[in-house]
Amino acid sequence: MRRLLLLLLLLSPALHAAQIDVAVSILPQKYFVESIGGGHVAVQVMVRPGAEPADYAPTPQQVTKLASARLYFAIGVPFETPWLPRFESASPDLRVVNTTRGIQRRPLARGQGDGTGHQPDPHIWLSPPLVRIQAMNIRDALIAADPAHAADYRRGYAQLAETVNRVDDAILHTLSTTTVTQHRFLVFHPAFGYFAAAYGLTQVPIERGDTQPGPARITQVIEQAKRQGIRMVFVEPEFSQQAADAVAAAIGGQVVTIDPLAEDWPAGMQAIGNGLARALGSRDTLQKITYSMK
């Protein structure tokens, strides 16, 4: 027994060294990469929990640690635009993998981002069909970097694809078995466009541009919500809830706090589906519902 333990202790540094150091931008990507790569990968996440990917600035410690990474899986969140060139310049051996390859990205809601309505929406991890494409890009990059474990990466991808299918089926079941009386829902920040498109729904954003919505915008949203019978407001933990509360109170609706950046991607997606089913199918409750995805 002692000899076995000693052997394991001697082997553990070698096993750790055999791992591929990779980096991702957001927590849901960590779930995808670890599902495919298993014990062959060590994943560093750049955007810390509770932070917003639009304007995140990596810490010096994160940048230093990134020097050992072989792969960076980019997903198109805004902070990557100024930072990825710096990462590549500081680490010549780092390969940046575009996981959006093969995905037709939709523009952000009109009035968002650069104000033209043509800035690509980065929230592709909230659509199961698009996650399958991202997963294929991750699988192929890992195989190219570590062909000796190609069979493991293919197996990990197949298992992840099955999980994505189950999540997709569960959300479809939840929404299809609910008497949905309204297919539009209000969001503070337009993070749910891909999710809505995947399930025949429509998000209506409160936020426009880079500033907090003023009284005129809030009044406009309230009038639109009343006119269209909207009774739900989505808000993310990273954003102020004050405007969402004001709108919800004026329309007699609900505020639902949901985290689209949950590391536990299946639970996070199901929580979004459950929140939509409960709110879109109910008109007689004024309570605030908070779902934890952590």
pLDDT at 15 > cutoff 90: no
Chain segment 173-182, per-residue pLDDT in tens: 998 887 766 7
Chain segment 106-159, per-residue pLDDT in tens: 987 654 433 344 678 999 999 999 999 999 999 999 999 999 999 999 999 999
Chain segment 196-233, per-residue pLDDT in tens: 999 999 888 888 755 677 888 888 888 988 888 887 78
List, in order of start, the domains of the chain with CATH numbers. 7-170 (3.40.50.1980), 180-290 (3.40.50.1980)
Residue 283 has what pLDDT? Answer: 42
pLDDT at 90 > cutoff 60: yes
Mean pLDDT across the stretch 23-45?
98
Residue 2 has what pLDDT? Answer: 54
pLDDT at 293 > cutoff 50: no
DSSP lists the bridge partners of residue 184 as 202
More confident residue, 282 or 114: 282
pLDDT at 71 > cutoff 70: yes
Residue 109 has what pLDDT? Answer: 64
Residue 116 has what pLDDT? Answer: 41
DSSP lists the bridge partners of residue 22 as 43, 71
Q: What is the mean pLDDT of the chain?
A: 84
> Which residues, at least 6 apart from 251, have a Cβ–Cβ distance to it below 8 Å?
222, 225, 226, 230, 231
Percent of the chain at pLDDT exceeding 70: 84
Chain segment 236-280, per-residue pLDDT in tens: 877 767 778 888 888 888 788 888 999 999 999 999 998 888 777
**Counting every residue, how long is the chain?**
294
Q: What is the pTM of this model?
A: 0.84
Residue 246 has what pLDDT? Answer: 84
> Which residues, at least 6 apart from 164, have a Cβ–Cβ distance to it below 8 Å?
128, 131, 132, 135
pLDDT at 98 > cutoff 80: yes
pLDDT at 291 > cutoff 50: no
